[in-house]
Amino acid sequence: MHPAGLGAAGTPRQPSKRRIPVSQLGMTDPHQLFDDTPVAPRFDVNAPDLYIPAMAFITYVLVAGLALGTQDRFSPDLLGLQASSALAWLTVEVLAILLSLYLVTVNTDLTTIDLVAFLGYKYVGMIGGVLMGLLFGKVGYYLVLGWSCVSIFVFMIRTLRLKILAEAAAEGVPVRGARNQLRMYLTMAVAAAQPLLMYWLTFHLVR
């Protein structure tokens, strides 16, 4: 990740970056995500950065508080539990992926910050799902969350495939080799975990 990744995305191109996690079904050229030359997010709409995930996490906590308040269930303790639970799951995800990459001996330039950025994009879809749930009930919640889940699944597959499997090809690992199969399973597992966590962290906020 580029050193300016934390705040460099705050430019006029920011709305385009916000659409990335929810528009992956129409994305045909994700290879720009991992050019060999580090590019600041302000110059590359696909470059990973922490601005959107950080803002999305904070907004998710605020929206969760709003949802709890409309149901007369709001309390500072409950809101804190909501935030700490989401943060704990994110931490577990990152540690599990790093451990898995080590166990399957993947040599990749994916950093911990990159993983946090990519995994944090799911909060965008979670926000949309909860807001639609507040406005239109469970039907709106499931429609928006379902679309967001599919989009983040495709996004993670394309993103991690380019890094994990591309590294395998560079190392000369056979496409159908056992190690490469493990890398494919790891990619699928990380992508599949995103919709599950999106639902787990939001379903109780909509009634």
Q: How far is CA 144 from the centre of its chain?
A: 16
In the numeric block, the tokens 């050229």 are attached to 29
Question: So what's the pLDDT on residue 85?
Answer: 96
**Cβ proximity of 131 and 206 under 8 Å:** no
DSSP 72-94: T---HHHHHHHHHHHHHHHHHHH
Residue ranges covered by each domain of the chain:
86-205
Residue-level pLDDT, tens digit, the chain, 207 residues: 554 455 554 445 455 555 556 555 544 444 444 454 555 555 555 566 789 999 999 999 999 999 999 999 999 999 999 999 999 999 999 999 999 988 888 777 888 999 999 999 999 999 999 999 999 999 999 999 999 999 999 999 988 888 777 665 555 555 556 677 888 899 999 999 999 999 999 999 998
| Predicted TM-score of the model (pTM) | 0.77
